[in-house]
Amino acid sequence: MKRARFISKGRTLEGYLQDGMLLDHAGEAHHPDAVQWLLPVEPGKVIALALNFAEHADEFGLKRPSEPALFWKPNTSLLPHKGTVIYPRGARFMHFECELAVIMGRHARRVKAKDALDYVGGYTIANDLVVRDYVTNTFRPPIRGKGWDTFGPLGPFYVTADEIADPHNLRMRAYVNNELRQEATTQGMIFSIPEIIEFISRFMTLEPGDVLLTGTPKGISQVHPGDLMRMEIEGLGALENPIEWETEEAEPIISQEGDRSVVL
């Protein structure tokens, strides 16, 4: 079941998709184009992985990590389906990353990989946007590159774990202005979802609503103001977000390390 949270006629509602319409819990139908979408879940922590697809590391000639390479995605970066992504002033190279997002359903502490999927509540789609200009060293968490407001689109649906037979065999596609830019499957992960949960829960309690971003495959490319991004994952729907120029009066942030950037 594709669950959703949205605002319609001034009311904040929860419901699900049926026959192309959003049905709230009272059974009233709402057209998806007539609602304001909300994040599919009230998120707790958002933890992401860098270089978790072998082909993504290989295409840039980077060493594959020997253990999950983690970084925080700030909650202030999160943006719902149809929300507008802001292109920062001074940025030269910004790109999308289509990712499977895991939503925890239970408290998890020191969970073994063989049991880890029992702690997953469901899945959604993430777009882990990044300004490449500010990612200059793999040994530093790429907070400045990936932590901008609006750089974490998430949604549109929360699909419960029982609806996804195998989260490691889902087709992923990314489109920009209807042009296919990225295509792969989740089979390409270096570290599986159970391995990720086992690794993180060794030192950190994962709680219901926490979100894990599992990495992106090869095929990332630049996006610009005026573009429309569409991230698709099999069984989870499609996450769409337009990009607009930053209008706030602010000094552009220029990297002090020039063009020596790396890929995450």
56-115 pLDDT, tens per residue?
877 777 788 999 999 999 999 999 999 999 999 889 999 999 999 999 999 999 999 999
Q: Are residues 143 and 15 in the same domain?
A: no
Of the candidates 51, 58, 6, 14, the one whose C-alpha atom is nearest the C-alpha of residue 32 is 6
Q: Where residue 19 sits, what CATH number does that domain have?
A: 2.30.30.370
Task: Sort strands 21-24 and 11-18 into parallel, antiparallel or unpaired.
Answer: antiparallel
Dihedral sign, Cα of residue 148, residue 95, residue 172, residue 176? positive
Q: Are residues 202 and 230 in the same domain?
A: yes
Measure the CA angle with vertex 153, ends 24 and 179; round to 5°.
Answer: 105
| Any domain includes 227 | yes
Q: Are residues 6 and 133 in the same domain?
A: no
Of the candidates 129, 112, 94, 81, the one whose C-alpha atom is nearest the C-alpha of residue 238 is 81
Query: Which residue type, as a one-letter code, is found at position 246?
Result: E
Q: Are residues 18 and 54 in the same domain?
A: no
Helix spans in 178-242 (H): 193-201
- Give residue for tokens 């490319």: 221
Pairwise pLDDT comparison (158 vs 134), residue with the higher score: 158
| CB contact at 8 A, 55 and 188 | yes
| Any domain includes 74 | yes
Q: Are residues 27 and 65 in the same domain?
A: no
Q: Are residues 134 and 214 in the same domain?
A: yes
Query: What is the domain count for the chain?
Result: 2
The boundaries of the domain holding residue 52 are 39-245
Q: Are residues 21 and 44 in the same domain?
A: no
CA distance 95 to 129: 6
| Any domain includes 260 | no
pTM of the model: 0.93
| Any domain includes 11 | yes
Q: Are residues 199 and 236 in the same domain?
A: yes
CA distance 237 to 226: 23
| Any domain includes 102 | yes
Q: Are residues 193 and 218 in the same domain?
A: yes
What tens digit of pLDDT does each residue of 154-195 get? 999 999 999 999 999 999 999 999 999 999 999 999 999 999
